[in-house]
Amino acid sequence: MTASTNDFVIKFANVNGSGSASANELFAKAILRMGVPVSPRNIFPSNIQGLPTWYEVRVSAAGHLGRRGGVDLMVAMNPQTWDADVREIEAGGYLFFDSTKPLPQGMRGDIEIIGMPLSALCVKHYDDPRQRQLLKNVLYLGGLSMLLGIEPAVVEALLSEQYKGKPQLAQPNIDAFRLGRTWAQDNLKFPLKFGVVRADNVGDRIFIDGNSAAGLGCVYGGATVCAWYPITPSTSVAEAFEKYCHKFRIDADGKRKFAIVQAEDEIASIGMVVGAGWNGARAFTATSGPGVSLMTEFLGLAYFAEIPATIVNVQRGGPSTGMPTRTQQADILSCAWASHGDTQHVLLFPEDPHESFAFAADALDLADKLQTPVFLMLDLDIGMNQRLCAPLQWNAGRTLQRGKVLDTEALEGGVPFGRYRDVDGDGIAWRTYPGTHPVRGAYFTRGTTKDADARYSERGPDYLDNVHRLKRKFETAKGLVPQPIIERAHRPTSLGVLYFGSTSPSMHEAAQRLAVDGLALNLMRIRAYPFPDTVRDFVLAHDHVFLIEQNRDAQLRTLLVHSFDVDPARVTPILHYDGTPITARFIAGAIRERLGAIAIREVAA
């Protein structure tokens, strides 16, 4: 066990729907409030009640927010998963359990066991069965706070906040928390080998999940139409949008400056988004892989008809009966090339909730500027877990970028209009909204059977003109999307790493570890597709490049090789795809292993 003060992993094994989620979250937040970074992760089944669910909290003074792997303290509250949970504890670690019933025979000898008679205490102090169930969670919170040195005032303040305005709920919770503490103080051995000590390592960072941040980003980005169909793990994007719209988008008369439609399916969702985008409203949908599959026909139309649309894809393990509650980055190709014909779509890859917010607003701007679908590629790991990140940021004075739209005055003033004419050479043509001018600017929208003035045409040269312009437009997109970020190693090196999205925290941690071993890596974080040319330059500037992805088939690598015709041998994929978030242990291990087979050329300083 490597755990030490402010650096350990605790995992709660619970039964879904037992009320443990709020107690566990409170635990994580209490440690944050003590100035110590945490990164919690929900590991949950695709059902509402009864199946096992886990909440894993990594406490890391150094601020490592990726999943670490291994468990130092298991709070084993679910008999169903007991055996596996016990096995997962690192040697020298702790098992915390409800000792109302005796321990089963044949326990591991290399871990320490802490029993607290939670059920018995509940039965003794509470009559109502529901209250027994709920307060049991708060009891273990009390016990753990004593064992780990979590300040009781912090927890009690959080409980009061949680039940703000409901003192009849707050007090029993606080009492149960104290009861747990007192019992632990009187009966248990502590401190443990690790614990929490107040520090100042959190700073002004905030704690929020990526889906909420993306939903809020859509409010800031000026989305007025949201059409969606529920699917894990994306549902909370639409819910957050709705929540913040109710807060910020109701006028003095109680009228709404937004429209949210829970459509009949994803086809209708994207259809509505396309209709709204065609008609000049900012619109988005939120979905996951199976939903994107249903949307693909429309995405092709939107690409060719050049209609702005924003799609938030919170990726999960596919297919529909796949691993809806597990994380992956496995929709890269299905989104980048969604639909029939020669289509290409813009993808944005936020690394955390901070960027989920920023990129959601950017996606809406980009969709309008480029007149095309734009995907915001979250995944379950970022989307459904609260993550410590930089405060959300908005420049005062920022306005919505509506792109090339000819308004009534422009048309009245005689600006010539042809819907698909490349007037400015950037591949982006001017458009008009329906209803703008009585006799100018109307056009008929269809797929590709058209000429530059939107008249019906099946002529080959017209087709070529159009699709070549679309290619130019995609080139333009390279300069408009979020650019990659390079972090150079402390000394010159011939090795590079490409990574993106939720891999970020684990990648940083892995690079630090490898640096300690004397291995220098230049890092580039890709933040969007189409890849700016700097991505090619980065690949060519290194003898070997590792590309870290959370899918089986190295999908981003396919895009990379395709985009720049780079020699595939230069790019070694490192792939993690069992549905759990990638860890620094995995990345560092895999890079070390691959390097065994590579002769590293030292680069002179």
Question: What residues between 226 and 255 interact with other proteins by CB under 8 A?
Answer: 227, 244, 248-249, 251, 254-255
Phi, psi of 218 (to 5 degrees): -70, -30
Q: Does the footprint of other proteins cover residue 265 (CB under 8 A)? A: yes
Which residue number, 190 or 456, has a Cβ lying nearer to other proteins? 456
Minimum separation from the CB atom of position 255 to other proteins (A): 4
Q: How far is Cα 75 from Cα 56, in angstroms, rounded to an integer?
A: 10
**Window 316-345: residues binding other proteins (CB under 8 A):** none
- Terminal-residue alpha carbon distance, the chain: 38
SS3 call for 509: helix
Contact set for other proteins, span 270-309 (CB under 8 A): 270-281, 283, 297-298, 301, 305
Q: Six-digit token pair at 266?
A: 């994803």
Q: Is 439 in the site for other proteins (CB under 8 A)?
A: yes
129 or 203, CB closer to other proteins?
203
Euclidean distance between CA atoms 212 and 353, whole angstroms: 8
Decide whether 227 or 588 has the Cβ nearer to other proteins: 227
The answer to whether 268 contacts other proteins (rule: CB under 8 A) is: yes
Contacts of 40 (CB under 8 A, 6+ apart): 24, 25, 28, 55, 56, 57, 58, 385, 386
Q: What angle do CA 166, 168, 169 make, to 5 degrees?
A: 70
CA distance linking residue 585 with residue 330, whole number of Å = 21
Q: Does 264 bind other proteins (CB under 8 A)?
A: yes
Q: Using the rule CB under 8 A, which residue among 395, 517, 565, 597 binds other proteins?
A: 395
For 225, the enclosing helix (H) or strand (E) is strand 225-228
The answer to whether 438 contacts other proteins (rule: CB under 8 A) is: yes
- Count interface residues toward other proteins (CB under 8 A): 78
Among 263, 333, 452, 519, binds other proteins (CB under 8 A): 263
Tell me if 172 sits within 8 A of 131, measured CB to CB.
yes
Count the neighbouring beta carbons within 10 Å of the beta carbon of residue 437: 17
Give the shortest CB-193-to-other proteins separation in angstroms. Answer: 30
Q: How far is the CB of 281 from other proteins (least distance, A)?
A: 3
Nearer to other proteins, 364 or 574 (CB): 364
Q: Is 165 in the site for other proteins (CB under 8 A)?
A: no
In the stretch 521-550, what mask flags binding to other proteins with x, by CB under 8 A? Answer: ------------------------------
Taking the least distance from each CB to other proteins, the nearer of 224 and 504 is: 224
Residue holding tokens 């008249």? 455
Q: Which string of x and - marks every residue 56-95 that binds other proteins (by CB under 8 A)?
A: ----------------------------------------
How many angstroms separate the CA atoms of 145 and 150, rounded?
Answer: 5
**Contact (CB, 8 A) for 9 and 56:** yes
271 vs 350, beta carbon nearer other proteins = 271
Rounded CA gap, 459 and 452, in Å?
Answer: 12
Give residues 416-435 in contact with other proteins (rule: CB under 8 A). 432-435
CA distance 57 to 76: 14
Per CB under 8 A, the segment of 182-190, 330-338, 389-397, 522-530 that binds other proteins is 389-397
| Residues 153, 158, 164, 170, Cα dihedral to 10° | -60
Which of 77, 122, 184, 219 forms a contact with other proteins (CB under 8 A)? 219
- The answer to whether 436 contacts other proteins (rule: CB under 8 A) is yes
Q: Which stretch binds other proteins (CB under 8 A): 45-53, 204-212, 372-380, 545-553?
A: 204-212
The nearer residue to other proteins, 442 or 561, going by C-beta atoms, is 442
* Helices 353-370 & 210-220 angle (0-180, nearest 10): 40
Distance between CA atoms of 387 and 365, rounded to whole angstroms? 25
